[in-house]
Amino acid sequence: MRSFASDNNSGVHPLIMDAIVKANSDHTVGYGDDDWTKEAIAKLKEVFGANATPLFVFNGTGANSIALQSVTRSFNSIICTQTAHIYVDECGAPARMTGCTLTAIPTSDGKLTPELIRPYLHDFGVCHHPQPKAVYLSQTTELGTVYTIDEIRAIADLIHAYDMYLHVDGARLANACDFLNCSMKQLTVDAGVDILSFGGTKNGMLQGEAVISFRPELSNNLPYFRKQSAQLASKMRYLSAQFILYLTDDLWLSNARHANQQATKLVNILKQYPQVKFTQKPETNQLFFTLPKDIAQKLSSTYLFYYWNEEQCEVRLVTSWDTTDEDIAGLDATLNTLFS
């Protein structure tokens, strides 16, 4: 089955799978004291700078929960968008794990701005109200849009003036870097990000994410939050070995570039049909658009995809690192038949 439902549905890149198999040799020390984990940490420091402190975890929800625990206390609030992954798709885990209030702001494109955030920066020092302490951004956003370096820096400058922290969920950070033609360091630590959830599962990895702190005062407690959050892997090498290959020869970037390029091909196909209306500007590998209801129903019998807003018949198609030209051609032929 080929799918445009999610980049979570794609397979594992052969080089990544090979790295896991090669790590499966002999015995080694557990819980991250192995050579693979040490090498992966060194790789991440090369990418993000010497001050980066990475910890490997099982999944994105765990990474977000640990990162947000490190920057908040239970009486704080976390500002995000109404479409944010931590607000919609993580079953309340970050709120439960931090004890914090999630302040969700409506947006049209999934992106926060200083102007949207500023009205919520009040009641500091008033014990009757949650104290704003963190802003959460998704890069790319849940709507496929991208924060520029300047946009992130503007948010960071604003909230740092209030002694707040900026957390970025980088589940699709690679796709954003390809779109902006910049490095991961430029888009995170250089732009004022304090802590990052760095993902590869949507971009060719099998399993595993990294929480990366760029602030020394946050790094000290991360190992304890990881352990309490049930995210400390005993056989760490199978997580960290993937990152070594992922960061070698820019595999992370070539995978994301391929996914973005395949999405662009789909955009050009979809634009041929006046009945297709894009609801978000196509920037990366997630495409959002409306279809006539009968066309969407027929298409769903051939391809797996998600309805983003079923009332409006808004659907989401997602390309992956392994989306082939044959996949694109097949969808093109199907749409041509349905619209003819």
In this prediction, residue 3 carries a pLDDT of 85
In this prediction, residue 1 carries a pLDDT of 66
Range of the domain at 216: 14-250
Q: Does residue 265 share a domain with residue 157? A: no
Q: Does residue 283 share a domain with residue 238? A: no
Q: Does residue 98 share a domain with residue 135? A: yes
The last residue of one of the domains, among 250, 285, 308, is: 250
CATH code: domain of residue 299: 3.90.1150.10
Q: Does residue 274 share a domain with residue 226? A: no
The last residue of one of the domains, among 201, 228, 250, is: 250
Q: Does residue 105 share a domain with residue 218? A: yes
Q: Does residue 330 share a domain with residue 223? A: no
Q: Does residue 325 share a domain with residue 284? A: yes
The last residue of one of the domains, among 207, 228, 250, is: 250
Burial of 301 (0-12, 13-18, 19+ CB in 10 A): exposed
**How many domains are contained in the chain?**
2
**pLDDT (tens digit, 0 to 9) for every residue of the chain, 340 residues total?**
678 999 999 999 999 999 999 999 999 999 999 999 999 999 999 999 999 999 999 999 999 999 999 999 999 999 999 999 999 999 999 999 999 999 999 999 999 999 999 999 999 999 999 999 999 999 999 999 999 999 999 999 999 999 999 999 999 999 999 999 999 999 999 999 999 999 999 999 999 999 999 999 999 999 999 999 999 999 999 999 999 999 999 999 999 999 999 999 999 999 999 999 999 999 999 999 999 999 999 999 999 999 999 999 999 999 999 999 999 999 999 999 999 8
Neighbours of 319 (CB within 10 A): 25
Q: Does residue 184 share a domain with residue 126? A: yes
Q: Does residue 305 share a domain with residue 287? A: yes
In this prediction, residue 125 carries a pLDDT of 97
Within a domain: 8? no
Within a domain: 132? yes
Please, are residues 246 and 205 in contact by the beta-carbon 8 Å criterion?
yes
CA dist 49 → 44, 124, 179, 203, 295 (Å): 8, 33, 22, 22, 49
